[in-house]
Amino acid sequence: MRGFLNIDKPPGMTSFDVVRAVRRAARMKRVGHAGTLDPLATGVLPVAVGDATRLVDELVGAPKRYRAEVLLGVETDTYDTDGEVRARVDASAVTLEAVRAALGAFVGEVMQTPPAYSAIKRGGEPAYQAARRGDPHEMTARPVRVYALEALALAPEDGDGGAVRVTLDVACGQGFYVRSLAYDLGAALGVGGTIAALRRTQVGPFIAEEAIPLDRAVALLESGDIEGLLQPLDAVLGHHPSARLSEDEVVRARNGLIFALSDLAVDSLTPSSTQIRCYGPDGALVALLRPKGDPGHWHPFRVFPPDTMAARQSGDALTRISQLP
């Protein structure tokens, strides 16, 4: 069994809690996730199973999208409502127009300081462990990219005098912390801010509308009724050019032999291409190539064994799994 699960992570669980649940249900050790979500957060968590764990790095730099509920007028030590409240300010005078005006400074390539309560390591220790110990790491600003940022709505927060809740849609790149955005936006408006709710709606090709709740995924894995549950290995490779290999070339690829680019029929190759995904005559993913040595020569750096359990639909990239191993 190999491929990607598009899991809709429930609140209150860590990303590794989800991995453990999938491992138990699938009775497999080779399971990993791409893109950590805080326990408070919900939404898209791609989970790699089997050979797909070798492709998790393809999602590291993938664009991500979030729907965030930011509480203005409240500041916490963790930058979310799971933390300890440090300050409260009357934010009732803040308008949606003021929020939208402030957001302009956070779009594009910007410098952002990660939260003290984060998984960033220093000296091998995660920052959140040092923060809980009372000796937080000094976090330094680093460049991040925000592709789009929109304030959708603003309303008074019931039962929290003076606080207002603003709903944001955030499209961002690698290493961006929405919790830091909430804190920085609150600071820019002079009232403080913290995350009240966070839902990830997209990671690369995986979207929330197609995500499956964890409990349902676990039930299907345990029952063996998993046809159509897994997305194929190449679900995360669509941005790379592709080539179709002959039977002889499949053997060469699986033996790690170098290919001359002139001998390959490659679709959508550009001067900036760094990988080529190669398929056999049956449409199954065989290998990834990257440049090697002399110009025009590419070698297999990642090779995948035949998938004897998958039946590939003609002209389609969906893998259909028929049984548990």
Of 169, 151, 189, 163, nearest in space to 81 by CA: 163
Active site residue 38: yes
For residue 3, give both structure tokens. Answer: 């491929």
Q: How far apart are the first and last CA of the chain?
A: 7
- Cα–chain center distance at 302: 21
Which pairs from 116-120 meet CB under 8 Å and 24+ separation?
116/77, 117/77, 117/78, 117/79, 117/83, 118/177, 119/36
Active-site option among 8, 38, 80, 184: 38
SS3 of the chain: the string is CCEEEEEEECCCCCHHHHHHHHHHHHCCCCEEECCCCCCCCEEEEEEEEHHHHHHHHHHCCCCEEEEEEEEECEEECCCECCCCEEEECCCCCCCHHHHHHHHHHHCEEEEECCCCCCCCEECCEEHHHHHHHCCCCCCCCEEEEEEEEEEEEEEECCCCCCCEEEEEEEEECCCCCHHHHHHHHHHHHCCCEEEEEEEEEEECCEEHHHCEEHHHHHHHHHHCCCCCCCECHHHHCCCCCEEECCHHHHHHHHCCCCEEHHHCCEECCCCCCCCEEEECCCCCEEEEEEECCCCCEEEEEEECCCCCCECCCCCCCCCCECCCC
Catalytic site positions: 38
